[in-house]
Structure 1
Amino acid sequence: MHVIFGGAFNGKRAYVEQFVQGRNVQWLNAETDTLVLSPQTDVVVIFGVENLLEPKSAELLEMLELWDEQAEVVIIATEIGRGIVPMEASRRKLRDDVGRFYQQLFTKAESITRIWYGIAQTIKGDVWR
Structure 2
Amino acid sequence: MEGRLELVIGGRAQGKSAYVKKKYPNAVCLDEKDLTEDGRLPVGDQTQDIILWDHFHLCVRNWQQAGMTMDEMQDRIEAICRACRHLVIISDEVGNGIVPLQKGDRVYRDLVGNLLIGIASKAERVDRIICQIPQQIK
Instruction: State the TM bucket, normalised to the shorter chain.
Output: 0.7 to 0.9
User: Which SS does the other structure have where 1:42 is aligned?
Assistant: strand
TM-score by length of 1: 0.80
**Counterpart of 1:33 in structure 2: which amino acid?**
L
Q: Among residues 2, 11, 15, which one is paired with 2:15 in the alignment?
A: 11
1:34-74 CA distances to partner (integer Å, 9 max, x unpaired)? 31225564201112221213445223322233124xx2111
TM-score by length of 2: 0.76
Show the counterpart of 2:56. 49
Deviation at 1:26, TM superposition (A): 1.6
- Is the deviation greater in 28-37 or in 94-103? 28-37
Identity of aligned residues (%): 29
Structure 1's unaligned 5+ residue stretches are 125-129
Q: Per chain length, whose mean CA-contact separation is higher, i.e. which structure has more relative contact order (CA < 8 Å, sep 6+)?
A: 2
**Do the aligned residues in 2 keep the contact of 1:26 with 1:41 (CA within 8 Å)?**
no
**Counterpart of 2:28 in structure 1: which amino acid?**
Q
* Cα separation, 2, equivalents of 1:26 and 1:32: 12
**Counterpart of 1:12 in structure 2: which amino acid?**
K
Higher helix share: 2
Q: Among residues 27, 36, 39, which one is paired with 2:42 in the alignment?
A: 36
Structure 2's unaligned 5+ residue stretches are none
